Amino acid sequence: MRRLLFGLFLCLFFLFPLVSCAETAEELTDSCHYSASDTSKLFRLTDGKTKQIFEGRANRENWIEITAPQGKAMAGLYILWKGYTSPVTMEVTSQTGEVSIQEVNAHFLHEYIVLPQAKKVRLVSTDKKGTLAILELRVFGEGHPPEDVQVWQDAPDKNDLLVFVAHPDDEYIFLGGTIPYYCVERKLQVVVCYMTCKDEFRLHELLNGLWTAGCHTYPELLDFEDKLCSQLKTAYKYWGGIDAALDGVAQMLERTRPDVVITQDTNGEYGHGGHMGVADLSLRIIRDEERTLSFRPQKLYLHLFPERPIMMDWDQPLTDMNGLTSLDLAKQAFACHVSQQGYSHETRSGKKFRFEVVSHGMFDNASFGLAYSSVGDDVYQNDFMENVIPSLP
């Protein structure tokens, strides 16, 4: 009996630290003390309103200082940066008084920064011609950050699936449950690439949508010009010519190295030249065996493509998602694109429609065609990854 109790004690002893480490971090945002080079807008840092921006003054050094509450230590900062700006230096004072310095804001617009049990953190803009601009800031203690905190990962050198679209929200309206199904249900490595997105607030909507859809790999942003047009040649004109667009997409494919590419309709869904462009570029690059690529995808699917059609089922409940389907998650992700809700347009024939995520509607987001394959035709015609041979990184 003593041996049994002793064994139970050992199990609990070794299990307890694991349980403790898995606890959700305490949020310290409201109990910290804040100061800044310009205090007039300091309240905007933590007011929960992302459209009220804390922004320092131009042409001067700007800084923000955060001090942990008495008896507590800061273990993580979650910062929503206004945009991709000049580097920011972070000075961290630990509980023991040691000071470390590092550069931040080099990568992710929504950035979670792990801290070494900090007593004080000071953010300083290193570009005196610029400003220190933050939409929102949250502070956490030890533990895992809550689920709504976006801890992004860089895309690896090799990906299973690339979702390539013209604009943020196209990935849900026209490609349906692709992202949540392959990220959440299949747990494959998915990266999303956007041909255009220069609006800062739409970038934040884009990230919120991807996180909601279950994609935690930071997207590729090609940063070409976004203009409403109804012809392919006009889209190429806005993008600096077909050669510049081809080079940009080819380099993106070589960076991400996807086995399968999913993109839009050659007819632009409702006749949008940008949608035509991403489909045309994908066809030109992947189908052209004479083009030199360090890596060529095994398959290319186009939305509504008539050749070798397949039909996806976005209405099956996902495992461990309480009955939600991939289309349900796609709808939730699209709802994150607040600026696009209720937006209406019309087809070339003059038929008006509203952007929404529905299966088997005007722009059937479950219907695709296999435009290129180096691994044969699909047999079951219900899975983008059918026949794919796992390739080396």
DSSP string, 136-203: EEEEE-SSBPPTTS---B---S-EEEEEEESSTTHHHHTTTTHHHIIIIIS---EEEEEEE---HHHH
Confidence at residue 392, expressed as pLDDT on a 0 to 100 scale: 66
Confidence at residue 43, expressed as pLDDT on a 0 to 100 scale: 94
* 255 contacts 159 by C-beta, under 8 angstroms: no
- Closest by CA to 139, choosing from 58, 64, 233, is 64
84-114 burial string, b = 16+ CB within 10 Å, else e?
Answer: eeeebebbbbbeeeeeeeeebbeebbbbbbe
| The residue to which tokens 């923000």 are assigned | 64
* 65 contacts 36 by C-beta, under 8 angstroms: yes
CATH code for the domain defined by 29-140: 2.60.120.260
* 217 contacts 191 by C-beta, under 8 angstroms: yes
Q: How far is 132 from 64, CA to CA, in rounded Å?
A: 9
Q: How far is 265 from 65, CA to CA, in rounded Å?
A: 49
* 308 contacts 378 by C-beta, under 8 angstroms: yes
Q: What size, in residues, is the chain?
A: 393
Mean pLDDT per 10-residue segment, the chain (393 residues): 40 39 88 94 92 85 95 96 85 95 86 95 82 93 96 96 98 98 98 93 96 98 93 97 96 96 97 97 92 90 98 95 96 96 77 86 94 97 96 69
3-state secondary structure string across 92-116:
EEECCCCEEEEEECCCCCEEEEEEE
Confidence at residue 3, expressed as pLDDT on a 0 to 100 scale: 42
Which value, to the nearest 10 degrees, does the dihedral of the CA atoms of residues 272, 252, 185, 214 take? -80
Confidence at residue 199, expressed as pLDDT on a 0 to 100 scale: 86
Which one-letter amino acid corresponds to residue 4?
L
Confidence at residue 13, expressed as pLDDT on a 0 to 100 scale: 36
- Pinpoint the residues of the chain covered by CATH 3.40.50.10320: 159-373
CATH code for the domain defined by 159-373: 3.40.50.10320
Dihedral over Cα of 168, 305, 278, 256: its sign? positive
Confidence at residue 276, expressed as pLDDT on a 0 to 100 scale: 98
Confidence at residue 309, expressed as pLDDT on a 0 to 100 scale: 97
Alpha-helical segments (H) within the chain: 2-21, 170-173, 178-180, 200-213, 232-238, 242-256, 273-287, 326-335
Confidence at residue 393, expressed as pLDDT on a 0 to 100 scale: 66
Helix or strand or coil: residue 70? coil
Which value, to the nearest 10 degrees, does the dihedral of the CA atoms of residues 146, 150, 151, 157 take? 150
Rounded to whole angstroms, what are the CA distances from 357 to 194, 203, 352, 353?
18, 20, 16, 12
Confidence at residue 306, expressed as pLDDT on a 0 to 100 scale: 97
Helices 242-256 and 273-287: crossing angle in degrees, nearest 10, is 60
- Pinpoint the residues of the chain covered by CATH 2.60.120.260: 29-140
Confidence at residue 168, expressed as pLDDT on a 0 to 100 scale: 97
